[in-house]
Chain A
């Protein structure tokens, strides 16, 4: 179960090192749980961390875990880490698992793509591809096959911005209209500037604990009920851009949790771009494939009373996408909702079951999907 969750309050951090931000979010999540660094016996991280993955940071933080793991699935890594922490605890490998993410993209240059990646010769540098372009390709095809419109994609940004106005830490706190989204500068057709997420420094951390540890804590915990993980890739040249890996990870998570879409009170849906949300909602089965555009209209995503309240922190679109990796904030806001600690204006009444979904990598080529289903302590 999740006992600690912490989001770094800053969005622009010119004056700290990457390891320093990792340690700050770790301290925050441990304090939230009522635990300390000396209690940590499991550590989970991605491959974006400074140095030799878990080794450099366990050294920096001065922790001596008996279990370490490093799995990289881009921005969805931290949802995978939660599932792996639960599995490790179940296997007896650790009792207090710490998961950290930090990034400083406004300060540091991104790591260059690996020249040994098997696709390196056929993607990237020669075509002038960008991250927005690799999502725009999916949006264009979805529009072609299903008649999805820019106005429908804009509804997703509108809902996120409505929520962000109640988050004093959000990078963009001003509500926007559909007209403002579709009239914002075109970045990569059909995606406009306001179809894209923010670029922020910062990070977040989670603490996952065993039932034995949890019973001695004063803090309300959140139950892990189910998970699903899936890579989705170019499929040897048969890539279909109209769906994401959520088509595979979603059903696995619902099956393990033994619940259905109708049972979900709140959803954190990865929102690197508006199209990421639209395809994910379809793939998770909240509507039929191709119906996502219709589903998101009429305030369906707006908390607290929409059909599927989503990203009540303002999401990656308005609040935070630390290190160009939004997965950990998806889990953190789901934890807030299940503890009743979201901003009061967007707290879903009596939220018992939440879904958190991550999409890491590129919607238009290969990405890692991860879905978690979480429950309130007494659910």
Chain B
């Protein structure tokens, strides 16, 4: 049975620095932050580049595609997740570079491996944001 599509979607913490990212999720866009000074992309998004320390950064729309860098099948999920059974927590390495903590959904746990190709999928979480998760690319 495919898992993860019924996971809870609690509203994320949003602040002025991350508001635009969450607005993007409502349009199925996965934005990351790019540095105009050094050209590096980073995650989680911030005003200051963590690599060259420039504040000259901008939003970049990622492809929303990547590969699994690491994952775990969590058999003892907390609180509201427990009802959905095992959940998959992963670091996905976006094609644009950054490694992002997320869930892998719409998958069979036996199908998962480090290196599996995945794409972002967005689940509405209130008026201001959608929760990004990733699913294997068919």
A interface with B by C-beta (< 8 Å): 115-116, 118-123, 125-130, 132-133, 136-138, 140-141, 144, 185-191, 234-239, 241, 364-365
Asked if B137 CB lies within 8 Å of chain A CBs, one says: no
* Contact indicator A189/B98 (Cβ below 8 Å): no
B interface with A by C-beta (< 8 Å): 7-10, 12-15, 17-18, 22, 32, 40-44, 46, 49-51, 69-81, 87, 89-91, 97-103, 114, 125, 131
* Contact indicator B70/A140 (Cβ below 8 Å): yes
* Contact indicator B12/A123 (Cβ below 8 Å): no
What's the minimum C-beta distance from B74 to chain A, rounded to whole angstroms? 5
CA gap between A364 and B7 in the complex, in Å: 22
* Contact indicator A130/B42 (Cβ below 8 Å): no
CA gap between A83 and B105 in the complex, in Å: 45
* Contact indicator B76/A188 (Cβ below 8 Å): yes
* Contact indicator B13/A188 (Cβ below 8 Å): no
User: Using Cβ atoms and an 8 Å threshold, which residues of chain A touch B100?
Assistant: 122, 237
- Known contacts being A121-B18, A239-B91, A365-B101, is A126 close to B131, with CB within 8 Å? yes
User: Using Cβ atoms and an 8 Å threshold, which residues of chain B touch A127?
Assistant: 87, 89, 101-103
What's the minimum C-beta distance from B113 to chain A, rounded to whole angstroms? 9
* Contact indicator B44/A118 (Cβ below 8 Å): yes
* Contact indicator A140/B114 (Cβ below 8 Å): yes
* Contact indicator B103/A118 (Cβ below 8 Å): no
- Known contacts being A129-B89, A133-B74, is A239 close to B99, with CB within 8 Å? yes
What's the minimum C-beta distance from B8 to chain A, rounded to whole angstroms? 8
Which B residue sits closest to A117, measured CB to CB? B13
15 A-B contacts, Cβ less than 8 Å apart?
A121-B15, A122-B12, A126-B12, A126-B125, A127-B101, A136-B72, A137-B71, A140-B72, A141-B69, A186-B73, A188-B74, A188-B89, A189-B74, A236-B40, A241-B70
User: Using Cβ atoms and an 8 Å threshold, which residues of chain B touch A241?
Assistant: 69-70, 91
CA gap between A116 and B50 in the complex, in Å: 19
User: Using Cβ atoms and an 8 Å threshold, which residues of chain A touch B69?
Assistant: 141, 241
* Contact indicator A236/B78 (Cβ below 8 Å): no
In the complex, how many residue pairs between chain A and chain B have their CB atoms under 8 Å apart? 123
* Contact indicator B10/A126 (Cβ below 8 Å): yes
* Contact indicator A138/B50 (Cβ below 8 Å): no
What's the minimum C-beta distance from B46 to chain A, rounded to whole angstroms? 7
- Known contacts being A120-B13, A128-B78, is A237 close to B72, with CB within 8 Å? no
Candidate in A127, A136, A137 with the most chain B CB atoms within 10 angstroms: A127
Which A residue sits closest to B87, measured CB to CB? A128
CA gap between A45 and B31 in the complex, in Å: 40
Candidate in A118, A128, A234 with the most chain B CB atoms within 10 angstroms: A128
What's the minimum C-beta distance from A229 to chain B, rounded to whole angstroms? 20
* Contact indicator B70/A137 (Cβ below 8 Å): yes
User: Using Cβ atoms and an 8 Å threshold, which residues of chain B touch A236?
Assistant: 40, 42-43, 49-51, 98
- Known contacts being A123-B101, A140-B114, is A189 close to B44, with CB within 8 Å? no
Which B residue sits closest to A145, measured CB to CB? B114
- Known contacts being A128-B89, A144-B70, A187-B76, is A238 close to B12, with CB within 8 Å? no
Q: Contacts A121-B15, A127-B89 given; 20 further ones with Cβ under 8 A?
A: A120-B13, A127-B103, A128-B8, A128-B80, A128-B89, A128-B103, A129-B74, A132-B76, A136-B74, A137-B91, A140-B71, A140-B72, A141-B69, A187-B76, A189-B73, A189-B74, A234-B43, A237-B98, A238-B99, A241-B91
Which A residue sits closest to B102, measured CB to CB? A127
* Contact indicator B114/A144 (Cβ below 8 Å): yes
CA gap between A364 and B12 in the complex, in Å: 21
Residue among A120, A122, A188 making CB contact with B101, cutoff 8 Å: A122
CA gap between A235 and B41 in the complex, in Å: 11
Which A residue sits closest to B115, measured CB to CB? A144
CA gap between A15 and B17 in the complex, in Å: 45
* Contact indicator B99/A129 (Cβ below 8 Å): no
User: Using Cβ atoms and an 8 Å threshold, which residues of chain A touch B40?
Assistant: 236
* Contact indicator A130/B74 (Cβ below 8 Å): yes
User: Using Cβ atoms and an 8 Å threshold, which residues of chain A touch B13?
Assistant: 115, 120-121
User: Using Cβ atoms and an 8 Å threshold, which residues of chain A touch B79?
Assistant: 128
* Contact indicator A189/B89 (Cβ below 8 Å): no
* Contact indicator A237/B103 (Cβ below 8 Å): no
Which A residue sits closest to B14, measured CB to CB? A121
* Contact indicator B10/A235 (Cβ below 8 Å): no
* Contact indicator A188/B73 (Cβ below 8 Å): yes
Which A residue sits closest to B129, measured CB to CB? A121
Residue among B10, B72, B91 making CB contact with A189, cutoff 8 Å: B72
What's the minimum C-beta distance from A108 to chain B, rounded to whole angstroms? 17
CA gap between A119 and B90 in the complex, in Å: 16
